[in-house]
Amino acid sequence: MPVTDSHNHQSHLVEISANDVLVGMYVSEIDCAWSKTPFSLGGFHVRGADDIQILQKYCRVVTIDTQRGAEPPRRRKSNITILSSARRRAPATAAMKVNRDTYPVTHSIKQQIDKASQAFVDTVAVLESFAVSIRLGERLPLDALDAPVDALVRAIVANPQTLIWLLLTEAKPAEPNAYCVRAAVWATLLARQVGVNRDELTVLCKGALLADIGLHLLPERLVNKRGPFRKKEYLAYRKHVDFGMELLKQYPGLEDKIVRIVRCHHERHDGRGFPRGLRGDQIPVLARFAIFGYCFERLLLTNDKRRSISPAKAISRLYKQRELKFPEQLIVEFIHVMGMYPLGTVVQLSSGELALVLEKNSSNRLQPRIAIITDKLAKPLSGPRVVDLAGKADSGLAVVGSVDPARFKLDLAPYRFR
């Protein structure tokens, strides 16, 4: 419950309980010494669930600056009524059993980056060949997915950060179906994080890869359309799920869990998805991971000239969609595996310089190991300067937020793990 702000003399400074802090707020003051917290002296933006959890661990009351961030609920009640009431109506689901220690990290990023990259390229190539075969009415050699999927899953199990780095720093493949591979990777990464067994990781990956297979039976103008659908276009687009199911009926030996993922990848936790309007626990567990993976990838797909969004901002938006499109537990676990600033993310520092996140700090997610790649004017340096922010806590150097590298025309190729 917000506390009165009358003592501040400035209406934009509002004192609230730490329990009322929301993503998007700017915390300018706290009720304990800054040095006792992992946050930067002077204030910070709340960028995700991790920030909130850490803040509540150290503080009971904080002061937010509404000129620099989101307002508390009492000031924007009319804006949150619809979202809040929708979230309250969302169905309760049984808590998912989580075991984050199921898969120890066995390889470094450098050790497996080349094999993981090849597995990604090979998987995209198989999906592209499937698209051609479907349009020609030919039978699909589904077993062609076995080898590249096995390689992808092995890389994810050995070290999930490899694929995170790869997907966030490598240039996006031009092939139309590459987004399906990326969505499948995000889904499988998340499932690995919670401890889903190895066989089901493979099933999930295959199911997510095949989820949009029915799109190849729709008119290309509809599939390639940019911007919102008209009502008739949307109704036609929805049919791709039914088309996908018809295609897969030709393969009676295909595992039923894969078919369920394809059938349910457009369902929503709140029951407003399609084709059947399933809600909560009615949606198969593996399908929930696929839904999440596609939600994240769709946000990243807006990363073009018309509209840019960084991975960190995409994660924040996913957090707002909790209990509507998927259970809250999924986004919380995704933040754990991705970090506040995922590997390969370009961030802006308090000094004005731009840097590339190289490694998470397990004890403090807000102070990663970085490579500074530009000066204060965003001019590229002749060589990167590697800094561990955890060891620079007293210098005042801190991450201010993430940025889109395309906005600054940055070439990340020299900094890849090669």
Question: Structure pTM?
Answer: 0.78
Q: Residues 98-154: pLDDT tens digits?
A: 999 999 999 999 999 999 999 999 999 999 999 999 999 999 999 999 999 999 999
Between 415 and 219, the more confident residue is 219
% of the chain surpassing 70 pLDDT: 89
Between 146 and 404, the more confident residue is 146
Between 228 and 373, the more confident residue is 373
Q: Look at residue 393 in the predicted model and tell me its pLDDT.
A: 63
| Average pLDDT rounded to a whole number, residues 55-75 | 78
Between 57 and 118, the more confident residue is 118
| Average pLDDT rounded to a whole number, residues 355-371 | 82
Q: Look at residue 389 in the predicted model and tell me its pLDDT.
A: 87
Q: Look at residue 2 in the predicted model and tell me its pLDDT.
A: 38
Between 30 and 75, the more confident residue is 30
| Alpha-carbon distances, residue 384 vs 197, 373, 390 (angstroms) | 39, 5, 18
| Average pLDDT rounded to a whole number, residues 224-238 | 85
Q: Look at residue 305 in the predicted model and tell me its pLDDT.
A: 40
Q: Look at residue 24 in the predicted model and tell me its pLDDT.
A: 77
Between 138 and 53, the more confident residue is 138
Of the pLDDT bands very low, low, confident and very high (cuts 50, 70, 90), residue 88 is: low
Q: Look at residue 402 in the predicted model and tell me its pLDDT.
A: 81
Least-confidence region, from 7-11, 295-299, 359-363: 7-11
Of the pLDDT bands very low, low, confident and very high (cuts 50, 70, 90), residue 304 is: very low
Pairing verdict, β 346-349 and 44-45? unpaired
Q: Which two tokens stand for residue 2?
A: 């917000």
Q: 218 φ, ψ to 5°?
A: -95, 160
| Average pLDDT rounded to a whole number, residues 32-56 | 77
Whether 307 shows a pLDDT value over 60: the answer reads no
Least-confidence region, from 153-157, 203-207, 268-272: 268-272
| Average pLDDT rounded to a whole number, residues 86-98 | 75
Q: Look at residue 306 in the predicted model and tell me its pLDDT.
A: 45
Whether 229 shows a pLDDT value over 50: the answer reads yes
Q: Residues 1-40: pLDDT tens digits?
A: 334 333 444 567 888 888 788 877 888 888 887 777 777 7
Distance CA 345, CA 113 (A): 17
Least-confidence region, from 251-265, 345-359, 384-398: 384-398
Q: Look at residue 226 in the predicted model and tell me its pLDDT.
A: 73
Q: Look at residue 74 in the predicted model and tell me its pLDDT.
A: 55
Q: Which two tokens stand for residue 73?
A: 């609920």
| Average pLDDT rounded to a whole number, residues 288-300 | 95
Of the pLDDT bands very low, low, confident and very high (cuts 50, 70, 90), residue 239 is: very high
Q: Which two tokens stand for residue 279?
A: 């809600």
Q: Look at residue 85 in the predicted model and tell me its pLDDT.
A: 60
Q: Look at residue 408 in the predicted model and tell me its pLDDT.
A: 76
| Average pLDDT rounded to a whole number, residues 367-395 | 85
Q: 193-207 burial, b if ≥16 CB within 10 A, otherwise e? A: bbebeeebbbbbbbb
Cα 409 from chain centre: 23
Between 298 and 10, the more confident residue is 298
Q: Look at residue 340 in the predicted model and tell me its pLDDT.
A: 76
Of the pLDDT bands very low, low, confident and very high (cuts 50, 70, 90), residue 79 is: very low
Pairing verdict, β 369-374 and 346-349? unpaired
| Average pLDDT rounded to a whole number, residues 181-206 | 98
